[in-house]
């Protein structure tokens, strides 16, 4: 049976990337590896649409979140975070662990914060040093308009806007420089199509100034050290060499395809999954929808654990469940990274077969038909676009 991951991290890995990582290891001080890092650094700047440094850390995505808090702020500083799901909430947990005073904006899980609520919270809390946001909240499948929020914040305040872009970089439009963002973080096992183990932090000039004066403790995750090494396409400690080699390949594929096409591709795939789910009679959870992952309510009369088990046993498909109070109530289908139209037809067909086995009433084929119709609307626009595996 084929194993098929439809989870928002780890995501499937292209064959050519896996093969690159299977080669004998090289030493990180060798000129060959310096070339790898040079290419990685250049293409990361392209991916984030920035001329600023995008630092590579050896950790999962949360390490980059922690580094952002620890390197920008000082003990007793106040910072705003938006609790819109499991990952937004994490910003606040990290702040507490570091002795930063968190100012929480809590929105119902399944919704996104408005720009106004962020501005109102800033007005009520003078002295806030930074606002921490989540562009794609993976636990609820909800998208936040960080472009609009960042513009509104910077119009009135000279403070940092920090974004968890862990499931949005390489999926949603991201223009680090143009949008005036200060820090954006992501992780390797999401839109970058490589295994977990690397995290990335883009830093603006404002962020660099804050890094210079931050007094929170750090050693391994010192961005000051990382910036110094970065200037020479180097890293302060032994990098995850094998992952960097895979990443170099994946990033060149992304560049060849172009970020604009990748953003468009994710929009189309996500629309197809939403339309397919609705046509089956399922109700979507949350809005506005992230293009990385679709959250769907488990229909009445269907037991999530049975549904999940069947999907995996019969079709090799792993999707993600709900977290915390959403456990057993929603399931999440990821379409972030290395997926194509055929994968999406397949996963929606498997949803149909599984729901049919569980006696859920719907018109067989209705989901797949809606998926096909969605793709048909876009075929002209996608016909000439380069596809990932076409790159050497
Ligand atoms: C996966 C994820 C994280 C956590 O990343 P890890 O790599 O598991 O540490 C944080 N934020 C978002 C939005 C994510 O999707």
Residues 6 or more apart whose CB falls under 8 angstroms from that of 372 comprise 345
Of 198, 232, 211, 229, the residue nearest 59 (C-alpha): 198
Q: Whose CA is nearest to atom 6 of ligand 1?
A: 61
Cα(368) to centroid(ligand 1), Å:
30
What is the rounded CA–CA span in Å between residue 335 and residue 324?
22
Atom of ligand 1 nearest to the CA of 168: 13
**Per-residue model confidence (pLDDT) at position 379:** 76
Domains and CATH numbers, the chain: 15-257 (3.40.640.10), 259-384 (3.90.1150.10)
> Model's pTM, two decimal places?
0.96
Query: Alpha-carbon Rg of the chain, whole angstroms?
Result: 21
Q: Are 192 and 186 in contact (CB under 8 A)?
A: yes
Among 58, 137, 190, 195, say which to mutate for ligand 1: greatest number of ligand atoms within 8 Å of CB: 190
Beta bridge partners of 57: 199
| 147 alpha carbon, distance to own chain's centre | 16
Ligand 1 in reach of 8 Cβ (< 6 A): yes
What is the rounded CA–CA span in Å between residue 267 and residue 335?
10
Q: Are 110 and 285 in contact (CB under 8 A)?
A: yes
Q: What percent of the chain has pLDDT over 70?
A: 97
**Per-residue model confidence (pLDDT) at position 384:** 63
Ligand 1 in reach of 141 Cβ (< 6 A): no
Encode pLDDT of 114-154 as tens digits. Answer: 999 999 999 999 999 999 999 999 999 999 999 999 999 99
Average pLDDT score, the chain: 96
Among 87, 137, 169, 294, say which to mutate for ligand 1: greatest number of ligand atoms within 8 Å of CB: 87
Ligand 1 in reach of 164 Cβ (< 6 A): yes
**Per-residue model confidence (pLDDT) at position 27:** 97
Q: In which region does residue 85 sit, left (phi positive, over 0), alpha (psi from -120 to 50) or beta (all else)?
A: left
Q: Decide if pLDDT at 386 tops 60.
A: no
Encode pLDDT of 56-93 as tens digits. Answer: 999 999 999 999 999 999 999 999 999 999 999 999 99
**Per-residue model confidence (pLDDT) at position 391:** 39
Q: Decide if pLDDT at 265 tops 50.
A: yes
Q: Does the bond joining 10 to the residue before it have cis omega, within 30 degrees of 0?
A: yes
**Per-residue model confidence (pLDDT) at position 392:** 41
Ligand 1 in reach of 61 Cβ (< 6 A): yes
Beta bridge partners of 137: 142
Q: Where residue 275 falls among pLDDT bands split at 50, 70, 90? A: very high
Q: Where residue 387 falls among pLDDT bands split at 50, 70, 90? A: low
Residues 6 or more apart whose CB falls under 8 angstroms from that of 213 comprise 74
**Per-residue model confidence (pLDDT) at position 292:** 98
Cα(308) to centroid(ligand 1), Å:
22
Six-digit token string for 238: 């032994």
Six-digit token string for 340: 């194509």
Q: What is the mean pLDDT of residues 212-217?
A: 98
Encode pLDDT of 231-260 as tens digits. Answer: 999 999 999 999 999 999 999 999 999 999
Q: Decide if pLDDT at 279 tops 60.
A: yes
**Per-residue model confidence (pLDDT) at position 378:** 86
Q: What is the mean pLDDT of residues 362-378?
A: 96
| 251 alpha carbon, distance to own chain's centre | 15
Encode pLDDT of 299-334 as tens digits. Answer: 999 999 999 999 999 999 999 999 999 999 999 999
Ligand 1 in reach of 134 Cβ (< 6 A): yes
Ligand 1 in reach of 60 Cβ (< 6 A): yes
Q: What is the mean pLDDT of residues 3-17?
A: 97
**Per-residue model confidence (pLDDT) at position 382:** 65
> Cα-flanking dihedrals φ and ψ of residue 81, to 5°?
-135, 155
Q: What is the 3-state secondary structure (H, E, C) of the chain?
A: CCCEECCCCCCCCCHHHHHHHCCCCCCCCCHHHHHHHHHHHHHHHHHHCCCCCEEEEECCHHHHHHHHHHHHCCCCCEEEEEECCHHHHHHHHHHHHCCCEEEEEECCECECCCHHHHHHHHHHCCCEEEEEEECEECCCCEECCHHHHHHHHHHHCCCEEEEECCCCCCCCCCCCCCCCCCEEEEECCCCCCCCCCEEEEEECHHHHHHHHHCCCCCCCCCHHHHHHHHCCCCCCCCCCHHHHHHHHHHHHHHHHHCHHHHHHHHHHHHHHHHHHHHHHCCCECCCCECCCEEEEECCCCCCHHHHHHHHHHHHCEECEECCHHHCCCEEEEECCCCCCHHHHHHHHHHHHHHHHHCCCCCCCCHHHHHHHHHHHHHHHHHCCCCCHHHCC
Atom of ligand 1 nearest to the CA of 137: 13
Is 180 exposed, middle or buried, given 0-12, 13-18 or 19+ CB atoms closer than 10 A? middle
Q: Among 299-313, 345-359, 370-384, where is mean pLDDT lowest? A: 370-384
């Amino acid at each position: 049976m084929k194993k098929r991951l439809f989870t928002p991290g780890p995501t499937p890995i292209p064959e050519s990337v896996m093969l690159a990582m299977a080669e004998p290891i090289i030493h990180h001080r060798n000129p060959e590896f310096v070339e790898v890092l040079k290419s990685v650094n250049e293409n990361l700047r392209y991916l984030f649409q920035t001329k600023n440094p995008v630092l590579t850390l050896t950790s999962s995505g949360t390490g980059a979140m922690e580094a952002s808090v620890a390197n920008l702020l000082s003990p007793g500083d106040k910072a705003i975070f938006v609790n819109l799901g499991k990952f937004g909430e994490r910003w606040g947990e990290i702040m507490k662990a570091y002795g930063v005073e968190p100012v929480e904006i809590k929105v119902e899980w399944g919704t996104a914060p408005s720009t106004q609520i962020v501005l109102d919270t800033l007005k009520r809390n003078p002295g806030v040093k930074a606002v921490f946001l989540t562009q794609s909240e993976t636990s609820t499948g909800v998208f936040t308009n960080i472009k609009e929020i960042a513009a509104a914040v910077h119009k009135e305040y000279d403070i940092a806007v920090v974004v968890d872009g862990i499931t949005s970089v390489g999926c949603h439009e991201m223009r680090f420089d143009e949008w005036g963002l200060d820090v954006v973080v992501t992780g390797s096992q999401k839109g970058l199509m490589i295994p977990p183990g690397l995290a990335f932090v883009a830093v603006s000039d404002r962020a660099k100034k804050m890094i210079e004066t931050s007094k929170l403790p750090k050693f391994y995750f010192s961005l000051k050290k990382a910036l110094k090494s970065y200037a020479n396409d180097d890293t302060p400690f032994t990098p995850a060499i094998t992952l960097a080699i895979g990443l170099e390949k994946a990033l060149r594929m992304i560049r060849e395809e172009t970020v604009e096409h990748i953003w468009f591709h994710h929009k189309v795939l996500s629309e197809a999954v939403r339309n397919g789910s609705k046509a089956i009679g399922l109700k979507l959870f949350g809005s506005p929808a992230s293009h990385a992952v679709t959250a769907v309510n488990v229909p009445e009369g269907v037991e999530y654990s049975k549904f999940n088990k069947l999907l995996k046993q019969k079709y090799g498909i792993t999707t993600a469940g709900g977290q915390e109070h959403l456990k057993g109530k929603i399931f999440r289908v990821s379409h972030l990274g290395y997926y194509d139209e055929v994968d999406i037809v397949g996963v929606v067909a498997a949803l149909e077969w599984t729901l049919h086995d569980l006696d859920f009433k719907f018109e067989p084929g209705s989901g797949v038909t809606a998926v096909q119709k969605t793709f048909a609307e876009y075929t002209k626009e996608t016909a000439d676009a380069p596809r990932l595996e076409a790159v050497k």
